Amino acid sequence: MTPMPPPKPSTEGPRDRQVFHEIGQIVRALEAHGPITPDELRDVVGGRWWEENRFDRALALAASDGMVHTTDDGKVVAT
């Protein structure tokens, strides 16, 4: 039985391979640093140098996937 080929890039939807890497960076940073503000997190992962809106998009996707959440005091934490 031969394995199925990977999906074509056009079927990957709004996510791309890079965003999975970015989400991983965010989660690892939170695991290492604990709860921090979104601005501190952006600095820790170097998000200020990512393409425009990449950090915000990756953080939003990480939250929608349940990998991170925001605390009552506005800090982000890995779940």
The domain spans of the chain are 15-78
pLDDT of 64 over the 60 cut: yes
**Inter-CA distances, 13 with 32, 33, 56, 73, Å:** 30, 31, 18, 33
CA dist., res. 26 & res. 20, Å (int): 10
Instruction: Give the domain 15-78 fold.
Output: Arc Repressor Mutant, subunit A (1.10.10)
Neighbour-count burial for 24-57, b at 16+ CB within 10 Å, e otherwise: ebbbebbeeeebbebeebbebbebeebeeeebeb
Dihedral sign from CA coordinates of 74, 25, 44, 51: negative
pLDDT in tens, 40-52: 999 999 999 999 9
- Say what the pTM is: 0.80
